[in-house]
Chain A
Amino acid sequence: EIVLTQSPATLSLSPGERATLSCRASQSVSYYLAWYQQKPGQAPRLLIYDTSNRATGIPARFSGSGSGTDFTLTISSLEPEDFAVYYCQQRSKWPLTFGGGTKVEI
């Protein structure tokens, strides 16, 4: 199965700063990579799909890039509500897999 490795595990930043999260795949997933946000006690929310497409209602400060095995989620200027855990997920091959997550904390 495809293993997704996210880094860093924790990112300590302040509101207004730029966040850069990484997701590396053990083999190419083409552009079939998504990002989800999860806040404590809540279900995950789809942010980005197919590398760079924002899901419905997602603010423009969230952007995704990459291809093949290396992907990045960028939050251009952190808002207080952006402090959460972020997961990448590939849909290139079965079984689908998630990364281990990056916690963005204040």
Chain B
Amino acid sequence: QVQLVESGGGVVQPGRSLRLSCAASGFTFSTYAMHWVRQAPGKGLEWVGVVSYDGTGKYYAVSMEGRFTISRDNSKNTLYLQMNSLTTEDTAVYYCARETAIRELSNPLDQWGQGTLVTVSS
């Protein structure tokens, strides 16, 4: 079965960096675009960004472009989110999610991980 397992969350000081990982299994990772979505405590869902199945296409939310970078290693079946210059407003659960269709971009998200909590605090 499809599994997405995020890791790398924790407590980090404002201004510092953090890299999240999402380990995928149960499907052909290299054929699906992958997304990051976050959710601040008690708030709604916020789309972070996407990377195409082959890593050549990337889009980001306006508020995160320039600070966040999404990448993937298809040989390791792993998705990454590099977050720089973190602020308290980046405190959230970060989910990775898979699109519904292969070798396309901008499809609905039908598989989600359980999320990893990032807390930005001094």
Chain A positions within 8 Å of B, measured between CB atoms, are: 1, 34, 36, 38, 43-46, 49-50, 55-56, 85, 87, 89, 91, 94-101
Contacts and interface: CB of A to CB of B under 8 A. Distances in A.
Interface residues on B, range: 20 to 34
| Most chain B Cβ neighbours within 10 Å, of A38, A46, A95 | A95
B110 A46 contact: yes
A2 B115 CA distance: 25
Given A89-B108, A96-B59, A98-B46, 7 more contacts: A43-B112, A44-B112, A46-B109, A91-B108, A96-B47, A96-B50, A98-B44
A91 B59 contact: no
B107 interface: yes
Interface of B, helix, strand, loop or mixed by DSSP: strand
Nearest to B110: A46
| Most chain B Cβ neighbours within 10 Å, of A36, A55, A101 | A36
B38 to A, nearest CB: 11
Interface in B31-48: 35, 37, 44-47
